[in-house]
């Protein structure tokens, strides 16, 4: 049976960069069942992004706190939780690495972090469908240093612009971090997953990897979403697990939209192997 060392592991990314897919892969790997893990019940503890968990851990409601109070308390919460874990805890986040004053918003006691990145031109297409925003508005959000996500369930998190998000996570040395490219995960899911397990100090067999990959295929995720829905989808969203295609932007974005993205992000894209067209 698959083994992972106890401790907190951040699954960090800009939205729509493969975070949920990696969560499902790891959940299937850890569960090691004959049947695929239920996407609506991934057997994770309540996420540290959640408003309920915040109030449960800290005994104060997040809606009685302003952004500054919350920025002060979140690292305390994360470090306290990380220090007491006796099991592995893979926790999703779209937060930047630091708060507005440059302090690590998620604390420093995590065992490690996987930072998922995806070509920002494909992120734009995916986020446009996910958030039911026009492409223009989506691209503007990806350029907005104050872009924030919030919901009734999750704490408000500062996502900011795409390039800044990538640079903060990949440039910090406080939490051991492995960068995982969405495109690599699509091209060689088993091989990339094997690299993730190695980084996390886990032990799995090749057969366990193959089964987890099959249980987390886009077909399987779409099948489950079609039959039972996905509780993490947004209101009005037709499908969460939509296409996942690499390079879809070539068919969707106009030349001018591509140029807007590349004008802003080209240096960071180049560092990650995403070749600008212009």
For other proteins, the binding residues (CB under 8 A) are: 51-52, 55-64, 66, 69, 72-73, 76-77, 79-81, 152-153, 228-231, 233, 235
* C-alpha distances in Å from residue 241, one per residue of 140, 163, 214, 217, 234: 24, 24, 15, 10, 12
Q: What is the CA radius of gyration of the chain?
A: 18
In the complex, least distance from residue 221 CB atom to other proteins, rounded to whole angstroms? 14
Q: Which residues pair with 115 in a beta bridge?
A: 12, 179
Shortest CB 53 distance to other proteins, Å: 9
| Residue among 136 and 225 whose Cβ is closer to other proteins | 225
Query: Is 107 or 202 the residue whose CB approaches other proteins more closely?
Result: 107
Cβ-based nearer residue to other proteins, 220 or 225 = 225
The span from the CA of 193 to the CA of 199, in Å, is: 10
- Least distance to other proteins from the beta carbon of 73, Å? 7
CB 237 within 8 A of CB 116: no
Pick 10 or 54: Cβ nearer other proteins: 54
Q: Which is nearer to other proteins, 156 or 259 (CB)?
A: 156
**Minimum distance from CB of 273 to other proteins (Å)?**
37
Least separation in angstroms between CB 30 and other proteins: 22
In sequence order, what are the residues at sequence separation of 6 or more whose Cβ sits closer than 8 angstroms to the Cβ of residue 229? 40
8 φ/ψ angles, rounded to the nearest 5 degrees? -90, 130
Residue spans of beta strands (DSSP E) within 14-100:
88-93
């Amino acid at each position: 049976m698959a083994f992972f060392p106890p401790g907190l592991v951040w699954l960090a990314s800009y939205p729509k960069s493969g975070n949920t897919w990696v969560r499902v892969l790891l959940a299937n790997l850890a569960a090691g069942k004959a049947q695929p893990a239920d996407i609506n019940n991934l057997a994770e503890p309540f996420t540290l992004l959640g408003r309920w968990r915040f109030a449960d851990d800290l005994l104060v409601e997040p809606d009685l706190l302003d952004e500054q109070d919350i920025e002060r308390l979140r690292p305390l919460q994360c470090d306290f939780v990380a220090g007491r874990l006796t099991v592995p805890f893979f926790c999703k986040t779209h937060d930047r690495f630091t708060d507005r004053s440059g302090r690590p918003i998620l604390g420093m006691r995590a065992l490690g972090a996987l930072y998922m990145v995806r070509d920002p031109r494909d992120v734009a297409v995916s986020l446009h469908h996910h958030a039911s925003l026009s492409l223009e508005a989506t691209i503007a959000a990806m350029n907005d240093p104050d872009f924030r996500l919030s919901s009734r369930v999750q704490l408000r998190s500062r996502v900011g612009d795409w390039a800044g998000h990538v640079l903060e996570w990949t440039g910090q040395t406080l939490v051991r971090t492995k960068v995982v490219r969405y495109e690599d995960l699509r091209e060689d899911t088993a091989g990339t997953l094997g690299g993730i397990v190695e980084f996390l100090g886990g032990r799995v067999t090749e057969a366990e990897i193959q089964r987890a990959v099959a249980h987390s295929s886009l077909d399987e995720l779409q099948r489950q979403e079609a039959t039972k829905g996905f509780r993490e989808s947004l209101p009005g969203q037709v499908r969460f697990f939509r296409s996942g295609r690499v390079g879809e932007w070539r068919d969707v974005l106009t030349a001018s939209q591509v140029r807007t993205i590349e004008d802003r992000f080209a240096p960071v894209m180049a560092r990650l192997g995403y070749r600008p067209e212009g």
